[in-house]
């Protein structure tokens, strides 16, 4: 086989394998139970199965800014 053609085939094969690996990882991640969003009732009452509520970021001092810090 021509060396130029062999190099081109290697590059194309590597790209296709890379795309297949990325697609496989994405599908694996999406098959997990991804639950990143809370409904309003889950925010006030917590999750139905665990009762866990999302963190209240307003209680952390570094998330609050006053006018003296911004001005």
User: Which backbone phi and psi does 3 adopt, to 5 degrees?
Assistant: -60, -35
d(CA 53, CA 51) in angstroms, rounded, equals 6
**pLDDT reported for residue 27:** 85
pLDDT at 71 over 80: no
pLDDT in tens, 33-52: 666 677 777 777 777 777 67
d(CA 63, CA 71) in angstroms, rounded, equals 16
């Amino acid at each position: 086989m021509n060396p130029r053609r062999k190099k081109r085939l290697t590059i194309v094969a590597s790209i296709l394998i890379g795309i297949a690996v990325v697609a496989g990882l994405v599908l694996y991640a999406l098959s997990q139970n991804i639950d990143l969003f809370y409904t309003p009732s889950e925010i006030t009452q917590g999750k139905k199965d665990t009762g866990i509520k999302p963190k209240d970021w307003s209680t952390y001092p570094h998330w609050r800014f006053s006018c003296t810090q911004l001005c």
